Amino acid sequence: MLAPEQILHAAMILSVESEDGIDEDLISQVQETLECDAEDHEAAMSHIENHRDGGDWGGRRDAVLHRSRERVREAMDNETLPSAGPLSDELNALVGEQEDGGEIDPFAELGVVSGGGGSSFGDNTVDSSDPLSVFMDDDDEEEEDLVDGDGFLASDSALNLDGEVVEDDVEEQEAEAPVAEEDVAEEEVAEEAAEEQPVTPPNVAYEMLMSTCWIDGILDPAEAKLLARKREELGITFEQHLEMLQSMLERSS
């Protein structure tokens, strides 16, 4: 959703580029409706003055005007600006009809000017009769926005006049997917099962291990280090080891 500052900026562009020039009364009504302050108005006007280039907009006049019309229309469609009444009538007259009958030139929209033997994109000129060739030159170069990165005319931009991201869009992007109830249930069952399992006393665990290492009363040499390590891990003293060993041998005899 467009920020109020972006809508005000779009309306000001269309008013500045109209035959009669900017209509301050109309812009004041738009500003009041959008609840924008004088600082927002000054920032938008400063941006226009810096980038208007005598109405040429750096060779992208058609794209700039088209984007501005679309933004005002969108604001009227979602009732951010009134869709009926005197102000609506003035805005409809300001927006007007597309000169090309609604057909949008995708190359003009992206700032590509085709004609003759070459195509241009921003400041880059490509000697080719195919306008698409402009997109195949220099993968490392970043595509320029419609005007600049201030958020006024950036395509699908969520920026305000200060270049800050609109919070609503950020919250949508950062919204975490809900955890499935089945996954939660499985985790709870696993935790309960782990809690229900009885803990084997260290001496019993060590004696069970030791019974696998002694064969016919003889300790398998390969298991000697294993028993020593387990004694340390389970906190079994060497004296306890001897007592358990004696008891185990007596039971087996």
CA angle 104, 76, 169 (to 5 degrees): 85
Instruction: Indicate if the pLDDT at residue 126 is higher than 50.
Output: no
- Please indicate, yes or no, whether residues 159 and 216 belong to a single structural domain of this protein: no
- Answering whether pTM is above 0.75, one says no
Looking at the fold, whether 39 and 150 belong to one and the same domain comes out as yes
Q: CB-based contacts of 239: which residues, under 8 Å, 6+ apart?
A: none
Query: What single string gives the DSSP state of each residue in 123-159?
Result: TEEE--S-GGGGGGS-TTSPPPPSS-TTSSS-TT--B
Hey, CA dihedral for 95, 99, 105, 77, is it positive or negative? Answer: positive
Residues 85 and 163 in one domain: yes
136-174 tens-digit pLDDT: 545 444 445 555 555 565 544 444 444 444 455 545 555
**Mean pLDDT over each residue of the chain, to the nearest integer:** 71
Clarify whether residues 213 and 158 are in a common domain. no
Whether 95 and 30 map to the same domain: the answer is yes
Coil, helix or strand for 114?
strand
Domain count, the chain: 2
Q: Are residues 116 and 220 in the same domain?
A: no
In this prediction, residue 54 carries a pLDDT of 85
- Of residues 76 and 219, more confidently modeled: 76
| pLDDT the model gives residue 163 | 46
Beta strands per DSSP E along the chain? 112-115, 118-121, 124-126, 214-215, 218-219
Residues 220 and 157 in one domain: no
Considering the domain architecture, whether residues 41 and 118 belong to the same structural domain is answered as: yes
Q: Helix, strand or coil for residue 185?
A: helix
Amino acid at 227: L
Q: Which residue range is the domain that position 237 belongs to?
A: 202-252
